[in-house]
Amino acid sequence: MRDEDFKKKRGPIERVLLVLTIAACLSAVATGVYGIYNFPDAPIRQTADGYAGKHGRPRTPEEFEKFVLWQKAMFIVFPAAFVFGFGFAIADAHRRRRAV
């Protein structure tokens, strides 16, 4: 019973951080799955004949641009998930210390 009351007392900051953490984690998973599905031969790089994947499969300039955007998204969403997660963990630990 005490644990249920304790969980209900999350403040607005903890709630916002929890929602942001969940959203960032879902975005990171979706971005990763998108990349695995669309770029199984990553990294795509420019060659003398155009663009090619790791195994030599030819790629179009549009695919290369999508790959570059995907890489940028990966460098944003994964660190964001960790930052929001650590922020939530710190805020929750602080709340638990105050409750004891």
pLDDT one-digit tens code per residue, 49-59: 899 999 888 99
Token pair 């960790």 is found at: 82
Query: Where residue 4 falls among pLDDT bands split at 50, 70, 90?
Result: low
Contact 46, 64 (CB under 8 A): yes
DSSP state of 39: -
Query: Above 80 in pLDDT, residue 23?
Result: yes
Tokens standing for residue 81:
């998930």
Position 33 confidence tier, pLDDT thresholds 50, 70, 90: very high
Q: Which residues of 58-87 are buried (b: 16+ CB within 10 A; e: fewer)?
A: ebeeebbebbeebeebeeebbebbeebbeb
Q: Given a cut of 60, is residue 86 above it in pLDDT?
A: yes
Report the predicted TM-score, pTM, of the whole model to 2 decimal places: 0.78
pLDDT of residue 75: 96
Other Cβ atoms less than 10 A from the Cβ of 88: the count is: 21
Tokens describing residue 53: 């994947």
Q: How far apart are the first and last CA of the chain?
A: 16
Q: At what angle do helices 61-99 and 12-38 cross, to 10 degrees?
A: 150
